[in-house]
Amino acid sequence: MALPVFSQNQILGKQVKATVDSSSIKIGEQFHLTLQASAAPSQQLVWPQIPDSFDHFLVVDKSKMDTLRQTGNNVYKQQITLTNFDSGYWKIPAFSFGMVSGDSAVTSPSLTTDSLFINVNTVPVDTTRPFKPIKQIMGVPFNILAYWPYILGGIIVLAILIWLIFFRKRETVQKAEQIIPQEPPYDQAIKNLHALEDEKLWQNNEVKLYYTKLTDIIRFYIQRQFGINAMEQTSDELLQKIKPITKLNQQKNNLQYILQTADLAKFAKLQPVREDHEASMRKAYEILEWTKPKEEVEQMNKAQASLASSEGITNNES
């Protein structure tokens, strides 16, 4: 009966076989089962599906399929790692391979491997001797050299942190030393208004930019001089905030004129005329002069009085 099957396999140009690297193992020991099949290039091989466990054997691992070219045929090979935890004489069953020729969807009669037998032996135990007691946990002597990578790494990290803290602190001190004290709010605002006039923005049709800078100068002055967050408030909010400040509220009409004209120029695309530009600048100067600190007013009065006195003396002498 076997001879015709073998002959048919040879005629079709295909062979299948299964081999093991050991026929006798200890219980729980692993061994390798190798499946190999050859087929003509025009034929498609259908590989057997191997479950995770079968007939007391457990599949530990499956290798990838290897393909070799040999005597005009393709040789396919796969290694499967097995183990067994039941003592005895166990059979690895035969594995069936299918074959499809060309574009045909019909599988030819399956080809099977031979069955294999594995002897699973138990570990010899001398029952005449008593069981040994369970060992206690053994302490390992401390060896600082075993931890030197961690200690070195900790020292390096600590050194980097100390350096970063020292560097940041030193950089902060240097920056603090380089800070130049700001000018008084009134002096800075006056200087900025003069600079804005020199730019001649509205004369060059930069009306929107002119009013943006003008309102920023006034808002920044109010913020520094009176502690109002004028840079972050709308025009209406700012006009409400200045009410408790009598000196500034007395210039509410001038401030309202500047803010409304600026809002119309920036957001409503209104084109103010020359008189509006000049009036806005003039009212900005009026706000600064009216609200400037008392010390600066006194210094200016003294300077004017000193100048008038010197002029009087000159006139008398003449």
The edge-to-edge listing of strands for the beta sheet with 107-112 is 43-46, 96-101, 107-112
**Mean pLDDT of the 146-158 span:** 89
Choose among 4, 80, 66: nearest CA to 37.
Answer: 66
| Residue 1 confidence (pLDDT) above 50 | no
**Domains of the chain: which residue ranges?**
2-121, 185-296
Amino acid at 198: D
116-121/24-26 β-pairing: parallel
Contact 215, 284 (CB under 8 A): no
| Residue 312 confidence (pLDDT) above 80 | no
| Residue 106 confidence (pLDDT) above 60 | no
Q: What is the pLDDT of residue 295?
A: 64
CATH class of 2-121: mainly beta
pLDDT in tens, 193-248: 999 999 999 899 888 899 999 999 999 999 999 988 888 889 899 999 899 988 88
Contact 292, 186 (CB under 8 A): yes
| Residue 34 confidence (pLDDT) above 90 | yes
Contact 118, 31 (CB under 8 A): yes
Give the whole-angstrom CA distance, residue 120 versus residue 90: 7
What's the burial of 81, exposed, middle or buried (CB within 10 Å: 0-12/13-18/19+)? Answer: middle
Of 172 and 142, the one with more pLDDT: 142
Contact 64, 44 (CB under 8 A): no
Q: What is the pLDDT of residue 10?
A: 42
**Mean pLDDT of the 104-131 span:** 79
Q: What is the pLDDT of residue 303?
A: 55
The rounded mean pLDDT for the chain is 82
What's the burial of 271, exposed, middle or buried (CB within 10 Å: 0-12/13-18/19+)? Answer: exposed
Rounded alpha-carbon distances, angstroms, from residue 228 to 23, 78, 268, 290: 94, 82, 27, 17
| Residue 7 confidence (pLDDT) above 50 | no
Give the whole-angstrom CA distance, residue 179 versus residue 193: 24
Choose among 4, 1, 10, 35: nearest CA to 21.
Answer: 35
Give the whole-angstrom CA distance, residue 92 versus residue 115: 6
pTM of the model: 0.40
Give the whole-angstrom CA distance, residue 57 versus residue 35: 16
What's the burial of 22, exposed, middle or buried (CB within 10 Å: 0-12/13-18/19+)? Answer: exposed
Q: What is the pLDDT of residue 32?
A: 95
Could you give the dihedral angle defined by the CA atoms of residues 222, 227, 229 and 230, in that order, rounded to the nearest 10 degrees? -10
Give the whole-angstrom CA distance, residue 251 versus residue 259: 12
Most confident of 127-136, 240-249, 288-297: 240-249
Q: Give the least confident one: 50-64, 114-128, 151-165, 168-182.
A: 168-182
Strand, helix or coil for residue 222: helix
Give the whole-angstrom CA distance, residue 135 versus residue 28: 24
Give the whole-angstrom CA distance, residue 84 versus residue 25: 9
Choose among 55, 29, 65: nearest CA to 115.
Answer: 55
Q: What is the pLDDT of residue 62?
A: 93
Quick one: what percent of the chain has pLDDT higher than 90? 41
Q: Supply φ then ψ for residue 279, to 5 degrees.
A: -65, -40
β partners of residue 119: 24, 89
pLDDT in tens, 245-289: 888 889 999 999 999 998 888 887 667 888 988 999 999 999 999
Contact 25, 31 (CB under 8 A): yes
Give the tokens for residue 294.
Answer: 């008392």
Q: Give the least confident one: 74-88, 200-214, 283-297, 301-315.
A: 301-315
